[in-house]
Chains A and B, each alone.
Chain A
Amino acid sequence: MTAIALRMTGADLLKLRKKRGTLIWVLVLALLPVVVLFAVKAIQHSSNPVKYEAAGGTGGFTDGLRLLCLFFGPLAAILVGVEAGTGDASAGVFRDLVVTGRSRLALFASRVPAALGVCWAVMISGYVLVLLGTFAFASNLPTPDTALVLNGFAFTLLSTGVVCVVAVGFASLTTSKPAAITALIGWQLVASPLIANISSLGSGRDAVLSQAIAHFSPVHVGGGRGETVIMAQGTGLLVIVAWLAVFLALGAWRTRTMDA
């Protein structure tokens, strides 16, 4: 990354860091559910230890990771990605950046690492909370080994990073914050699970991003290996790469060609 690209990424990071409203929602979505999960499980366990096992341990880790990586984390990632993709356009500042003569593709490209930086900083905090809950409330239950902890960390980055980058591309394509947030959250929460459960669609369901991501989960997060749709590892990887490529290309194209 060149010095100018680093400075531009730093500028985009500044914009995201200082957007307090969005950042608060991102933190709430990423961290609060994990805190609530372990708090509720700990209260249940303390009130009836026979019926409810300890909040931590491998079970708590699995629940926390599911919550962080497959449900609330992606929503937080969408908020970050959309903010990065539409921030300049919605503030009317994009024009002022274009008149510097800097390449529009460079302007688009700097959004991606900045969004990932903010997204991953929050998600790593979330993952640390999961680990804290896992070990602090483990009681006499087995805890994840180092390999699982590292795999969980990698999965946290993968599951939220991919969604965040797709959101940057999609938001840059639409240039409308409300439209992008509505469409992406609708897709993530409603359309994706719905499509994944329509068995008549057969292998067409392989194209659902959340299913491809879930395939790489290090813990069991549902039926089978954790995903509704069973697919080969290579297929899962291909689907993720295709989503990234398509939406980055669309976002870059729109940024390059739109009237500023």
Chain B
Amino acid sequence: MPAEALHTSAADVPDDAPAIETTGLTKRFGERTAVQGVDLLVPRGSAFGFLGPNGAGKTTTIRMLLGLTGASAGEMRVLGHPVPAERGIALERVGAVVENPNFHPYLSGVENLRIVAAVRGPEAAGRIASALARVGLSERADDKVKNYSQGMRQRLGVARCLLADPLLLILDEPTNGLDPGGIQEFREMIRAMVEQEGRTVFLSSHLLDEVEKICDVAAIVDRGRIITQGPIAELAEGGARHELIVGVDDAEQALSVLHASQLVREASRSDEGIRVILSGDASGAAEINAALVRAGVGVARLEPVRHSLEQRFLEITSRLDAPPPDAPASEPHEQVRT
């Protein structure tokens, strides 16, 4: 079990508890509602992407989870402990970088870590060297932080998280300021933390590509609401929509067959062939192929369309930007299996 690498205190962290669980989490600043009724479920041992445009309420949600600011309504549990009631216990095994990682610039990297280790507890001081090595800063550990690049500060921020030997890492826009090589290294480090060490990573980002490449599960947030959440693949598929590209020798004949089939919701020509949206799940593809062959249509290609999270995200945000339909005031809230 990968989590064996962690010094889990069974008494403090229930094994079956989700890493993060919120119900109806709301934050208001005067008249403005920054976060509204957020229900989050972050499974343990996953890389969870918290995806949304700037100003969507991602950082405010994180700040509430960490007890940096109070919630106006709702409930939160971090590693099974209610926050803020048991905030101290809940955060013992949580490492977090919120917005930009800040340090005392006149102190060296290792001195900054010593300060946090002193606050964390006696075991944390023993992890300083390994944390610095993990993020590749051992050789620059004695340099003053004011001489660090933004990328080095980001890495030092992660090292600071590792002092807690965290079961849960909360990283807010962690690749800000990293060059492409640094981003790649960072992705690999996060994946290793999840896959080899059994840690949970909650990663907030406005970068679709970043979330898609790092995370297993994600929630899309916009204007303070969770629009949808679930495994990345299911989010990209949009939950219920399955599409095919069909290459045939007789498009007219094929279209008439497809329009007559109850398995097909929509069929139309496209540059790549005939684009088919299935009524049901992906298993209908085989029956459609058989129906076309029975009708004498030669099928040269039948390929499921793989949606990217980016397409899905744009669909969602386009829908939100559209004038509101005559629907109840609440936003659509899809709950995909997590």
Contacts and interface: CB of A to CB of B under 8 A. Distances in A.
B265 interface: no
Interface string A1-33: 001100110110011001110000000000000
Nearest to B96: A99
Interface string B64-92: 00111100000000000000000111111
Contacts of B118: 4, 7-8, 10-11
B88 to A, nearest CB: 5
Given A11-B114, A20-B106, A93-B102, A99 B68 contact: yes
Given A11-B114, A14-B115, A96-B102, A103 B66 contact: no
A192 B101 CA distance: 41
Given A101-B94, A259-B69, A107 B114 contact: no
A94 to B, nearest CB: 9
B94 A11 contact: no
Most chain A beta-carbon contacts within 10 A, residue among B106, B119, B122: B119
B119 A100 contact: yes
B94 A91 contact: no
A98 B107 contact: no
Nearest to B164: A100
Contacts of A18: 104, 106-107, 111
A15 B164 CA distance: 21
Q: Binding site of A, secondary structure by majority: helix, strand, loop or mixed?
A: helix
B98 interface: yes
Nearest to B89: A101
Contacts of B88: 101-103
A4 B118 CA distance: 7
A93 B119 contact: no
A92 B112 CA distance: 13
A87 interface: yes
A238 interface: no
A15 B68 contact: no
Interface in B158-215: 160, 164
14 contacts: A8-B118, A10-B118, A11-B119, A18-B107, A19-B106, A20-B106, A91-B104, A98-B67, A99-B67, A100-B120, A100-B164, A101-B87, A101-B88, A101-B91
